Amino acid sequence: MVTRFAPSPTGLLHRGHAFAALFAADAARRGGGRFLLRIEDIDSGRCRPHFVAAIREDLAWLGLAWDEPVRLQSQHMDTYRAALDRLAARGVLYPCFCTRRDIATEIARAGAAPQGPDGPLYPGTCRGLADDERARRLARGDAHALRLDVTKAIALTGPLDWEDLGAGRVPADPAALGDVVLGRKDMPASYHLAVTVDDALQGVTLVTRGMDLFQATHVHRLLQALLGLPVPRWHHHGLLAGPDGERLAKRDGAPSLASLRAAGEDPARLRRDLGFD
């Protein structure tokens, strides 16, 4: 049994993160396994090193211990690039030159766009580019992302499912997310690609994370099949709500663990409040 907590260092952790970290560590402990910490810092525009230090302090304060060294995703771009090359060799990637504005314009023009969990799906503009147009723009060095041709990918893998300790056996429906970005314009990786590659490389056997990422698992299951990676089990857990009933979020000013600590909160009490120990 190997589990992990994989935060992005874009801010201070709050009680919701404490719950997620304790949930993963508790599953590892009960399974007699190992608990890992992974720092998901590919987005250099939003991630800050001092938040990495704060994550370590907060988790140690909570009483958690994890295997060292901690994997920092920003140091493994070559690994993600190699995974993109393997996907390209399977013929399931295409370059996408669209800007956000291009995508919004195309969606408005089409009238109705299919909706995904995070809003309208990519309308597929660049999937349909003529070969010579695509070659011309690549030769010119136009900035482009790499998108997954999800229809082609599903045709290669056939139907897939996953075992979820919360939801049971779940049929994968990656088409619901459309042609997601796997390589961003500014880096040879994206959240979906890096998390899938790393969970396999680190031998994670049980992926625990919040229900807010349930939809992403449809895509991760497909990527595992395309890349021939081992398939873990998942356990998507509920999200902590604040006093207003809305899920806790750092952007809405949920109190940070650092501020609770500074105010004299007892970590053992916090663990108990969150349902552990």
Residue 252 CA to residue 243 CA, distance in Å, equals: 12
Interface stretch with ligand GLU, choices 2-10, 83-91, 98-106, 133-141 (CB under 6 A): 2-10
Active-site option among 102, 250, 265, 267 = 250
Buried b (16+ CB within 10 A) or exposed e, 100-129: eeebeebbeeeeebeeeeeebbbbbbbbeb
Of the pair 153, 195, the CB lying nearest ligand GLU is at 195
Query: Residue 230: which of 182, 193, 196 has the closest Cα?
Result: 196
Answer left, alpha or beta for residue 56, where phi above 0 means left and psi between -120 and 50 means alpha. Answer: alpha
CA dihedral (116, 158, 148, 104) positive or negative: negative
What the block records as the tokens of 100 is: 């956000």
Of the pair 55, 96, the CB lying nearest ligand GLU is at 55
**How crowded is the C-beta side of 106, counted as CA atoms within 13 Å?**
14
Return the residues of window 33-62 that contact ligand GLU according to CB under 6 A: 40
Is 6 near ligand GLU (CB under 6 A)?
A: yes
Residue 265 CA to residue 18 CA, distance in Å, equals: 13
Interface stretch with ligand GLU, choices 3-11, 124-132, 138-146, 169-177 (CB under 6 A): 3-11
Interface stretch with ligand GLU, choices 5-13, 101-109, 165-173, 226-234 (CB under 6 A): 5-13
The only residue of 2, 92, 193, 195 in contact with ligand GLU, by rule CB under 6 A:
195
- Tell me the closest approach of the beta carbon of residue 18 to ligand GLU, in angstroms: 14
The only residue of 15, 209, 235, 271 in contact with ligand GLU, by rule CB under 6 A:
209
Strands 206-210 and 233-237, sheet pairing = parallel
**How crowded is the C-beta side of 144, counted as CA atoms within 13 Å?**
19
Q: Which helix (H) or strand (E) holds 196?
A: helix 191-201
Is 213 near ligand GLU (CB under 6 A)?
A: yes
Of the pair 73, 103, the CB lying nearest ligand GLU is at 73
Respond yes or no: is residue 152 known to be catalytic: no
Of the pair 106, 212, the CB lying nearest ligand GLU is at 212
Q: Give the residue numbers marked as catalytic.
A: 250
Binding-site ranges for ligand GLU (CB under 6 A): 6-8, 40, 195, 209, 213
